[in-house]
Amino acid sequence: MNKLHLALIAVSLSSSAYAAVPLEACDSPSFQEVLNASGETLDARAVWLDRRLVRWPGAAQDGAFRLYHSPTGAIVAKPGSKVAGAAGYLALNVSGTAVPSAVATRFKYVAPGATLAVNDADLARLPELHRGQLVLVQEGADGVVIAATRLQSAGALDDLYAAAQNIPDLGATPGARQTGFKLWAPTARQVALCTYDSATGKAGAVQQMALEPNTGAWSASVPRDLSGTYYKYAVDVVVDGAGLVRNMVTDPYSVSLNADSKRSYVADLDAANLKPQGWDATRAPDTVKAQTDMAIYELHVRDFSLIDGTVPEAKRGKYGAFSETNSNGMKHLRALAKAGLTDIHLLPVYDIGSIPELGCALPQPSGAPDGETQQALIRKTAHTDCFNWGYDPQHFNAVEGSYASDPQDGARRIVEFRQMVMDLHNAGLRVGTDVVYNHTFIAGQNEKSILDRVVPGYYHRLNATGGIESSTCCFNTATENTMMAKLMIDSSVLWTRHYKIDSFRFDLMGHQPRSAMERLQREVDRAAGRHVQLIGEGWNFGEVADGARFVQASQLSLNGSGIGTFSDRARDAVRGGSPGDSGETVLRQQGYINGLVYDPNRFGGGRQHSDLLKAADLIRVGLAGSVRAFPMQTFDGQTRRLESIVYGGNQPAGYAREPGEAVNYVENHDNQTLYDINVLKLPVNTSAAERARVQVLGMAINAFSQGVAYYHAGIDTLRSKSLDRNSFNSGDWFNRLDWTYQDNFFGTGLPPADDNAKDWPLFKPLLANAALKPAPADIAFARDAFRDLLQIRASTTLLRLRTSDDIVKRLRFFNTGPGQVPTVLAASIDGRGYPGARFGSLTYLVNVDKAARTVKEETLRGKRLRLHPVHTAKSAADKRAAQARYDSASGTFTIPARTAVVFVAD
């Protein structure tokens, strides 16, 4: 080692002594300060496999490899020149040994190339060097750069700081005598803690934090209880293209914040002042004994009460609305709970980055039913108004402030959220929430980028050049990395333990490893002292598709885990087409309930009889819980297990090992509502009353399906979003709910242009057609029919069978095969000896046709079947169902047009 190299090492080591962060930095109006600028930007094509090994895809193994380092981000490495600005380098050699199997499996997606190794003598220096800039250079014999790249760091950081996954107290931990703070930031040069007595006042103190070398976490302790105060961190870290930057950043483990997430809030979530009266004693209703018992209503906090005139104005759109027990909205929820609904699933309620918590815009649209003015105004304020679905996470562990009465007060949102949970419990409902750990709202050096400004390049999934993957829509997180998985699991535990969340719905869960989700399941169960139900979107796409990086938490990969995934099999067959359809295809691809073959619209005349039969079979797959083992006669007369029926060209139609792993739905927040999709697909001359009946058919198929039943709020009131296919940022106007049951908001203007303009020519005549808008009587019919369906489902475990074996043994479809009446779904379930069955047998039939249909089943001849008691009650909504007939002598059922009916036997 030459003298120059020794001198460079000395400079590098001495550079770790920084001037302390001054108090005035805590009050800087800027969220970042460049301490040492660097204009050099490099791709990150090389990947740390562990603390010692590096893979450089595509790199030849000749030349010299050097790992240059700089504590200030000053390296310039241009091909054809020598490296400048470095404080030193480590020589790397081509590895002569095999990559360890676990490491090779984790990084199987990394393309071939030179695999390099750090010398054993240099390994001890790596933690310090990771706290600066690292550039890997391939040089010629003359020291001139042939190629240069940054390195993706997750493999090294996970290896070096494996102990970090066991840190129990990340974030702020207040106690009677002291308050501790801990932040995982292993690549930071230094970290300081800024504390504030109030949400908006100046900083009272700044304290340098100490690095824990075995975990990579920085910690500080203040010798008093800081509960009720605020804080943030000053993190000095090297950022590619910027240099050494001081980031003023909130805590990734924040449990609350002030308005618009400017400061983190110090809170002991077990403190008495953060608990509404009765919080410790509140318990969820004991309505879910097995996952298949779940009947879920997906609800947005703001939508729920925003236009409910029976809620005080100050509480509309807020958590506090759920305390108004006599409001129209709460009466609606109590009625659903009484009928058999078990769970409310709230759209995201963590801290949302895209909703201004103070001074958000409140546009007041108006215009013709097919007008453009409404959407033009909504688009103008889309990024500044009070509405968003909430799939824009900023802080995963903190309650969203825009739904609180005072977002500036970090305590208020905690108390009011807990009160909302209690209010829903008192209404007879469990509380679940939609969680979005697969992406962040923003990344890089943006002010609202939290994770990336603490540990640049670690928390997100990177592509081959070091850019952030965005297949989920936004900035994909890397839950395969230890500390991102830990954040997801710790966050879920927090919501379970401190907010008594009963179940979770994971957005784009297929982008997460199955192993991480199984660990999460164990941890939330432990936190709750019982089983917490997990369901999610198991779609298989993007850079992780088909197990490209890990075994996914996706439909086909989760079977046997007990974690549920949404099933698109029956969904698409019921609705028609697929969510991505546009143009005339939307109208042409009619579904089973809205006229496929038997009632073609003006574009639907070219469909084949076999299309209807295939659609009926796919719906039967859903009715059987999508379980792999169930045998069923298909339209061609063959009997196949559901896993042998092909769906979507190359997937098994039956994908679940157990019914609780399938979530059945025909409408949720995504895509057009069921009412709107039926507007597009039913013949235009279909009456409003018949449209309501078609809506009920969709709800009935869901209610009769084995597995988890999932419904979008308003499906029972014919909810329309004026044909909007993606209302995530369409404002309050296109997302309203009317609990007076007078309006479903169809025909309130053309939906926003961004996602819909290409279809406006098709939409305009429909929106302008007043005959397509339901009357209050139609809304009331669908509302009451839905409650009847919930009662029927809740009345017997036969519609909620516990296991795949139960389904195979007890469920039997009839009216199947090539000779079937194709518009009638029919099945019988044996209830003899089954716990909770209440009936010796249950038979359901769904006739989607415009005319009455008759089907015959020889095996039921002589049986004494009667209509389910819900159908014969004076309060029954669907009087047509009571006209259904069963002739025991011949085993013949006659089912009225567009009717779903259930028969039972003792």
The SS3 assignment for 510 reads helix
Sheet of strand 885-887, all strands in order from the earlier edge strand to the far edge: 853-856, 892-895, 885-887
The SS3 assignment for 369 reads coil
The partner residues of 866 in beta bridges, in order of sequence, read: 904
Cβ within 8 Å of residue 78, ≥6 positions away = 145, 148
CB 244 within 8 A of CB 189: yes
Cβ within 8 Å of residue 21, ≥6 positions away = 190, 192, 206, 208, 234, 236, 246
Beta strands at 230-239 and 188-196: parallel, antiparallel or unpaired: antiparallel
Q: What are phi and psi of 209, to 5 degrees?
A: -100, 155
Q: Which one is catalytic: 400, 502, 537, 830?
A: 537
CA–chain centroid gap for 855, Å, is 42
CA–chain centroid gap for 332, Å, is 26
Where helices occur in 49-131 by DSSP H, the ranges are 101-106, 126-129
* Residue 801 tokens, joined: 């069978």
DSSP state of 775: P
Which residue matches tokens 């535990």? 493
Where helices occur in 391-513 by DSSP H, the ranges are 410-426, 451-454, 482-499
* Residue 269 tokens, joined: 């979530």
Cα–Cα distance between 137 and 471 in angstroms, integer?
31
Cα–Cα distance between 746 and 769 in angstroms, integer?
10
**Among 187, 185, 111, 78, CA closest to 465:** 111
Which residue matches tokens 């009619």? 590
Cα–Cα distance between 350 and 648 in angstroms, integer?
35
The SS3 assignment for 452 reads helix
* Residue 178 tokens, joined: 């002291």
* Cβ neighbour number for residue 97 with a 10 Å cutoff: 8
Cβ within 8 Å of residue 188, ≥6 positions away = 131, 218, 235, 236, 237, 454, 455
How big is the chain, counted in residues?
Answer: 906
Catalytic status, residue 507: yes
Q: Which one is catalytic: 139, 293, 343, 507?
A: 507
Q: Could you please report the per-residue DSSP string of 789-844?
A: HHHHHHT-GGGS--SHHHHHHHEEEES-STTS-TTEEEEEEE-TT-TT--SSEEEE
Between the CA of residue 537 and those of 318, 502, 541, 661, 715, what are the distances in Å?
27, 18, 11, 11, 20
Residues assigned a catalytic role: 507, 537
